[in-house]
Amino acid sequence: MTTRLLLYLAHAIDHLALLIFATAVSAIALDFGVARWEDLMPYATGAFVMFGVASLPAGRYGDLWGRRAMMLVFYFGMGVSLLLVSLTQTPLQMGIALTLMGAFSAIYHPVGIPMLLQNAPKAGAVIGVNGLAGNLGIAFAALLTGYLVKHVGWRAAFIVPGILSLVVGVFFAIKVPQEMTAPGKKTGGKKLHVDRATAARVFAVLTCTTTLGSLIFNFTTNGNGELLRERINAIASDPATLGMMLAGVYAIASLAQVIVGQLIDRFPIKRIFLPIVAAQIVAFALAAHADGWMFYVFAVAYMTFVFGAIPFTDAIIARFVDDSMRSRVAGLRLAVSFGISSVAVWALGPFVKASGFSTLLLVMAGIAALTTVAVLFMPAQDPEPINTAEPIAA
């Protein structure tokens, strides 16, 4: 249970760290002498590129070297890199430090989540709670960053989670026992048998839906702060108030993951995944034409469906990929999907500057429509594990 709690906390730290910059970007731009926050956003692109690209080696080492060892690299790497971000003095230095942080942040998803699931009797419930932890990290990023920017300064917003990551890393090293064998070298137990045609089809759907979903995730989580500031300017102009409002959106929306996790344990994935991504289309379209508190309601709605779609990625891997190679498969799909979707972080500022947030919201509705089409190609039923003394190729 201690291991599971520490892995949940790691997920929260991972997402918290990645969203500090987006919440504090206006204050950082002012401190660095950059005229508009939109001009500073591209410097965060490297972090999200590495969040995807570095997932591939992270997943490989997780399976073949050991997941516990890689999680220690995560905790201490995140801690040190966050402290380095707080010391930067120019946009270029900021971009380099954020890129380094992104490389370490890539470790959690292909390593921490398979570590959580390797002995879980009900994968959906664990995925749901882990998703809640990650998205509460996003909510806490908004709340903590808003408070620290106002009362201490933006640098403290990176220092506090950096120290937290180092402390948790020490605790993890003490409390979590050594692995006897790396996951990729184990034999026997329950194995999944999925024919090659189905495996290729599922991986194609997984890559497509994850890439499109990651584009939406990056656009929303990196843009919501400034979007709220624009649509509810009279209330959200204060950094602390803005942080509280953002935290409210993310905290409410995060509950969807717990519900979805329970449903995943009861029904085939396709049956639940399809209506959730379809609902994103409606929510984004309505939000594009709303202002004031009505926009806030629609923001909660679209983030609920965005967060609600996240558990399916890990659920698909848990249902269709054997544990001995889950970290490598997760790393591969993350490298492709997050590597491509990092363009959202680079494009966010220039796109909003040229076309506005209403157009961006309509573009996200279009992306959600493409995701809905991709989910239609998922198999109607999920495979069942079989017992074997010898490993079966997935």
Which pLDDT belongs to residue 392? 32
pTM (2 decimals)?
Answer: 0.74
The tokens for 131 are 């998703």
Q: Which residue has the higher pLDDT, 361 or 313?
A: 361
Which pLDDT belongs to residue 390? 38
Mean pLDDT over all residues of the chain?
85
Q: Is the pLDDT confidence value at 387 over 80?
A: no
Q: What is the mean pLDDT of residues 55-82?
A: 91
Q: Is the pLDDT confidence value at 225 over 60?
A: yes
Which pLDDT belongs to residue 217? 85
Domains for the chain: give ranges and CATH numbers.
Answer: 2-176+188-382 (1.20.1250.20)
Q: Which residue has the higher pLDDT, 304 or 140?
A: 304
- pLDDT tens profile 335-369: 777 777 777 777 888 888 888 989 999 999 999 99
Q: Is the pLDDT confidence value at 193 over 60?
A: no
- pLDDT tens profile 183-192: 666 655 455 5
Q: What is the mean pLDDT of residues 208-223?
A: 87
Q: Is the pLDDT confidence value at 386 over 80?
A: no
Please tell me which of 5-19, 235-249, 309-323 the model is most confident about, judged by mean pLDDT.
5-19
- pLDDT tens profile 16-53: 998 899 888 889 999 999 888 888 888 888 888 898 88
Please tell me which of 311-315, 378-382, 390-394 the model is most confident about, judged by mean pLDDT.
311-315
Q: What is the mean pLDDT of residues 291-309?
A: 92
Which pLDDT belongs to residue 194? 61
Which pLDDT belongs to residue 13? 94
Which pLDDT belongs to residue 74? 96
Which pLDDT belongs to residue 284? 96
Q: Is the pLDDT confidence value at 1 over 90?
A: no
Q: What is the mean pLDDT of residues 240-252?
A: 83
Q: Which residue has the higher pLDDT, 99 or 114?
A: 99
Which pLDDT belongs to residue 89? 93
